[in-house]
A and B are shown apart, each in its own frame.
Chain A
Amino acid sequence: MAEFSTSIKDQSGVSVVYLNGYLDAHTAPMLESNFSELISGGKFKIVVNFKDLVYISSAGLGVFMAFIEKIRENEGDIKLTTMNDKVYNIFDLLGFPLLYEIYKTEDDAIKKFVETDKLGK
């Protein structure tokens, strides 16, 4: 049963990870290996698109917690985008908006990386 899947594209040096389906304790390892691969490939600028994510539990949220520090130490970030209300409410209940930048659109999130890069130069 394809209850969760991900796909990744590269845009302007930013890796966009698309989530699809149900992210729970069973499927969280799949996203963990996506993040591990990005990190070992030196890709620290990550946008996660939640458009097709139907469901998330704390095991799914935990994946973001597990990798964020390593990514920020390397001048990267995980920015989140296009969350439906149901998924956003869970993030909000746990105070995640304090820790992660959440954008309305994928373009906004990518732009933010590009702007930050320009400022750094």
Chain B
Amino acid sequence: MGNKSKIKEKKLIVKGKTENLARIRTFIQSIASSVGFAQESIDNMILAVDEACTNIIKHAYKSYPEGEIIIKVKYEAKKLVITIIDYGKSFAPDSIPEPDIQEYYRQHKVGGLGIYLMRTLMDEVEYISIPGKYNQVLLSKSLTSTR
């Protein structure tokens, strides 16, 4: 019977280790289903968040597994907004081109697929990076999104 139009911000803080990805996915699943997203939309959000966190673990915190990943989720105006913050190496997502899979094959390259997936699966993806301070990626999806 709860009011689903707005939830208080939920927060998860985990260390930047791949073993925590499963926990992060469960966190997103539980919030997104509590506000009424369809499972297909939830699956897309889970993958986008996994990709964002994997990038943080593999790149921002490459040599620092004790670094923290902070995930904040709020639901407002029928939109789920997921903010992911890390304090690792900064990152310039605009330098990542859209992947050309044939070219990837030739170069044995796989990086950059995650960013492409995030942009495809979410309504909005926005990076803010303050070098030496923190990086933030904001992912959002509206309840009526067709993605």
Q: Is the CB of B18 within 8 A of A24?
A: yes
Bound CA span A57–B110, Å: 12
Which residue of B25, B46, B105 is within 8 Å of A69 (Cβ)?
B105
Which of B71-79, B80-88, B113-121, B130-138 forms contacts with chain A? Answer: B113-121
Within 8 A of A (CB), among B9-35: 18-19, 21-22, 25
A1 to B18, CA, bound (A): 14
Complex CA distance for A1 and B22, rounded to whole angstroms? 10
CB pair B120–A65 under 8 Å, yes or no, is no
B residues within 8 A CB of A18? none
Chain A contacts for B68, CB-based, 8 A? none
Interface of A is mostly: helix
* Chain B, interface residues (CB within 8 Å), range: 20 to 34
State the Cβ distance, A39 to closest chain B Cβ, in Å. Answer: 14
Check: A90 CB closer than 8 A to any chain B CB.
Answer: yes
Which of B21, B102, B116, B120 makes the CB contact (< 8 A) with A24?
B21
Indicate if A62 sits at the interface (CB-CB under 8 A): yes
Contact of B51 among A1, A57, A68 (CB under 8 A): A57
Which A residues are in CB contact (< 8 Å) with B6?
none
A119 at the interface (CB under 8 A from B): no
Question: Which B residues have a C-beta under 8 Å from some C-beta of A?
Answer: 18-19, 21-22, 25, 40, 43, 46-47, 50-51, 54, 57-58, 99, 101-102, 104-105, 108-110, 113-114, 116-117, 120
